[in-house]
Each structure stands twice: as C-alpha cells, then as structure tokens.
Amino acid sequence: MTLLKEFILPRLAQWLVVIFVGTTITFVIPRLSPINPVDQAMARISSFQNVEPETVVALRNSFEELYGLKGSVFEQYLNFWKRVVRGDLGPSFFAFPEPVTELIGTSIAWTVGLLATSTILAWLLGLFLGSLAGFFPHRWWSRLLDTSVIVVYPIPYYILAFVLLLLFTYYLPIFPLVGGGQGLPRLTLDYILSVLHHGFLPAVSIIIGAAAFRFIVSRALASTERSSDYVQYAEMAALPKRKILFSYVIRNTMLPQVTDLGLSLGAIFEGALITEVVFGYPGLGYTLYNAVNSSDYNLIMGITLLSIVGIATASLLIDLSYPLFDPRVRYR
C-alpha cells in the first residue's frame, strides 16, 4: 500500500498533469494563428465556381463542425477533449476528407520501424564503444575512435545526411533516393527486403550522429568509473579485465543513460523531420512537414498529441523501472 501511495500514484498524477497541460497548449496555439482554416477552405471552393450565399453559410457551418471551430472557445475546448477521448481528431485539411487518425496510422509504422531500431542500435553502439575507449584510453584503437568521433560529431546532421545521400544514391547508386518500400505493403520476403533496402541509409545517418554523442558521454563516464575505488580494488584483486569492464564499468555507465534511451524512444512518435524530408521517407516527420506547409492544424495537433503522450509515457515508465537497473534506488 505504501508503494502505491508514495511512489506509483504521484507519478501517475504527474503523467496525467503533463498530458493535460500539453493537450491544452496544443488546443490553444493553433487558435492564436491569424490563419483561419475555414476561410482557406471556403476560398478554395469559391475560386473554382460561384456559390450561392445559402450554400456558403451551410458549407461554413459544416467546415466549422468538422474542424472543431464551432461555438465559443470554451465549447470548442470541451468538444476537443471529447474528440480526443474518442480518438477522433477530425479530417485532414490537405487530404480532405481522410481522417487524421488514418494518416497518422499509415505513417507511424514507418517511423517506429526506422527510429526504434536506429535509436537502440546507436545507444548500444555508443555505450559499448565509449566504455571501451574510456577503460582503455591508451590503446591505438581508442585514440582512433576518439579522433573519428571528434571529426564526425560537430558536423550538422543535415550536412551528413546530404553527403550520404549524394554518395550512395547519385555517385554510387546503391540505395534508392526516396521512399520506404517498393510496391504496395505486403507480407512477403521481397517487400521486407525492399523496406530494409530503403531504410538502411536513413538509419545509418541517424546511428552515426546518435552513437557519436553517446560515445562521448560513455567515454567520460567510463573514465570516471575507471578511477573509482571499487574498480581499483578489483584490479588489485587481479580480476579479469573483461569482468571488470562488463560487471563494473559498462554496467555503471549504463545507468545514467537509461533515461536518455527511454526519452529517445518516447520521442520517436514525433518523427525524424530532417531525416524523413531529406530521404523522402514516408514517416511522421514527412507527414508533419506536409501538414505545416499546408497549415493542416488537425494533422499538426494529432502528431503533437502523439508526441506528448509518447514522451510522457516514456518518462513514467523510466521512473517506475529505474530501480530495476540501479540497486541503490529503492521503493519506499
């Protein structure tokens, strides 16, 4: 009972507050914009044909109802929460009348498949190589890794992505220029291989930058752990280097980075905007880019809400599971 009252319930309450505040801000910000989506929709219709005044009024009422802009701001806010609870985010503006949920559902699988795999691989690679370099700082390969990371890490991501795109799609046409797969989605070996082929280059571009950052953090943490008393004692006790590295150094350097991994996995629901735009990858980031260009507030709000819930849920799961990774933390 104490565990539920003093540990779990406060974190659940914090999770609900974060989602409530984030959802409210998501509702308010588009309504501060000077652009009215109903006026835009009416302008598009009237630019192609003459519409009678009665039809204009009926269309405006229909658009206001579809876009959640009917009534006072307070009424819109209540209706907005009702639609969110039902999972109804309204129709997309630029892909009318397709629902926002269907557009997000179509693109989220691409983003999750790309970013989840890339994030986990980058985290493991950076953690392992950084810990090795910090534990063996005077080896030649450690210095080579340090030099390589120092050269790669400061490069802006979009420059790195464009370089990879030019090298391996134009000068060496090994990978496709755009797309996430070849043909219609289907559960066949050829299609799965085409998905891996299309996603390899975007994944590599993400892994390089993310692994370089985690390499720097892991190396600094491993250097600190290497000079700690328990590691010095383990070396004096003639324990194998492998055991010291994996049981003491890597295990302890991993703990501060568990939070970073959890938040990174939660953030995949906002998409990788630059990656997906550069490589023409059909994920949430590319969908968000199109939504911003076309002032599709419903779609922007849908992706923003998904991102808020994903990051808040990741933070909650980290808080609840962190004692499993760190034996010094105990539930009280």
Task: Find out if CATH 1.10.3720.10 is the number for domain 108-295.
Answer: yes
Distances (CA, A) of 185 to 2, 164, 180: 50, 26, 10
State the pLDDT at residue 224.
83
Give residues with Cβ within 8 angstroms of 303, minimum separation 6: 104, 270, 271, 284, 287, 288, 291
Give residues with Cβ within 8 angstroms of 248, minimum separation 6: 225, 230, 231, 234
The ranges of the chain with pLDDT < 50 are 331-332
CA distance 223 to 227: 7
The two three-digit tokens of residue 154, written as one number? 């400061």
Give residues with Cβ within 8 angstroms of 192, minimum separation 6: none
Nearest CA-CA partner of 161 in 193, 202, 111: 202
Place of tokens 């985290």: 123
Nearest CA-CA partner of 308 in 260, 277, 263, 259: 263
Sequence ranges of the domains in the chain: 108-295
